[in-house]
Structure 1
Amino acid sequence: MGVTFTQLAYFLAVADVRSFTRAAESLGVAQPTLSRQLKALETDLGAALVDRGGREGPVLTPAGAALLPLARRMLADADSARTAVAEIVGLRSGRIRVGATPSLCIGVLADVLRVFHEQYPDVRLELAESGSQPLVRALARGELDVALVIVPPSGADAALHTTPVLRERLSVASPTSERAPSSRGSMSVRELARRPLVVPRKGYDVRETALQAFADAGVTPHFAVEGGEMDAVLRLVEAGTGVAVVPDLVFAGRPRLRRTVLTPPLFRTVALARRADLVPTHAMQAFRRTLLSFLAVLSAGDGFTGDVQVLRPAEE
């Protein structure tokens, strides 16, 4: 993977404020994300760009000082190019209605929307957060333009054009304040059935997947709390109310949650979906490019917490 504009922007932020923490705050990203991407940039260029051991904060190495004016010019040229192209393809205005499941909003979409808004500030963004099944219905009714949805085991809806983008594992979340549910770091569905379970409301595919796994194993789960959105489920687990089956994406940035894998494993595929009978607008095409570019950057770095694989979609 070559040098990206995102990596150069992260490098410039560190160079300007001489602090990884303040640079990450100014960009609206987590500090580990910034550090990973800067390290990936140094690896790609074959030289250290920042001396991290300075008493007064990080300072540029000779290689970093040489890159600095080039990076500024490249980002300025890229911004000019985006503006020129946006004026041609009509992205100086417009609207895009995006849907996603709560776990994807937590784990991916917030950063993607930030990047998209920075690139196309005059395009109005509308976000709908719901379970995968309601999102598919909203796409069919024309209430959404695009949505990140879960591909069911039976396959995607024929009325939708889908681009698989992620494959992620479902794992058991438990509070780090309590003893691990298994000393092995893994547990079976039968073992999980003996634990109090927190499950989200109906309409969440992760709920249906978990319940089907219990049925396939011939066991009945013991519910501690049933219903609620993903944020509420995670908070209940952190508080020690019970455990939950959740996508691996949600573990990032939650030190109060412990991840225990299920055996045999449960996986799900995330796809970007739109109606197949409609020609995508320029804004929809731009959103797709932004999403895939963002995922490619993550894949080139340390990737995600847990078992999450970025898929490489074919060109539309």
Structure 2
Amino acid sequence: MCLHLPILQLKLWLRNQSSVDQVSEFILIGFHLPRPLEVFFSVVLLLVFLLTLAGNFTIITLVCLDQRLQTPMYFFLCNLSLLEVLFVLSITPKMLVNLLSMNKAISFLGCVSQCYFYFFLGTTETILIAVMAFDRYAAICKPLRYTIIMNGWVCINLVLGCWIGGFLSTLGPIILLFNLSFCGSNTIDHFFCDYAPMIKLSCNDVHFQLALENVLSSVVLLSSLFVTVVSYIYVIVTILRMHSAKGRQKTFSTCAAHITVASIFFGSAIFMYSLPSQGFSRQIQKVVAVFTAIVTPLLNPFIYSLRNEKVKEAFKDCLRKWAFSQ
């Protein structure tokens, strides 16, 4: 039923296109860079994009092929890498096209699709990071019951819950978007189709849509942050209570990558969406959005691979097998 409703809204919007002076495309301003800087930034962005895909696909491949990595922690890490791949694919290709061409336009449906996938995947990742924090809590604070608490069925359901939660929580605001009329300015002061800057261009009153989006995003972000913080507090307290210094160091090194990724993700998200959207802060928001949408997906696989001995061993073994097969 929930899938038929947005399709119906889309049909109604398309039907009204001929009778209403509706905006058919948007212009993404980006960063107002001189042309040489745009070309330079596009080259850097392309390199980051390719490294991000390579790093995350490496994690996915290693987890799928290496028996040592087929545990709950790496199952969640594999899903995180998959999310990062899809996340950069939803933003970066169009951003590269806009930087390299003089045409900064994106169609209405393309803009709505980009907006939906950005928030759908971002919300799913937010929930998944909380799940990964709970997994570390169960592994370190409840080691004797860990295999029971985080059995295969539970892990699959938790991951499905992340994806379904992200899908449903962002569906409502997008459905409401098709009821709006865009008959004025079509210029979005961003490098991608962010929800708030886009609907503020509508001719209609959008206070309800903005309030709904703020409530939904706040509930997901704050609840996930609460679970993450509480889980890691318990983890850190448990580590500090260990009698063996070597045990403390080994256990903390396992969680360091998780804590680093969670800190970067939640820190940038809170910073970006707690700022007002006017004046100089809009430029700051765009810089932080670049970090969240482009840099963070690049850092995640390298943070995990550099801090995790099992991942490094699996990568070396994979390279050896490939070398001997040549």
Specify the TM-score bucket, using the shorter chain as the normaliser.
under 0.3
**Which of 1 and 2 has higher RCO (CA within 8 Å, sep 6+)?**
2
TM-score, normalised by the number of residues in structure 2: 0.23
TM-score, normalised by the number of residues in structure 1: 0.24
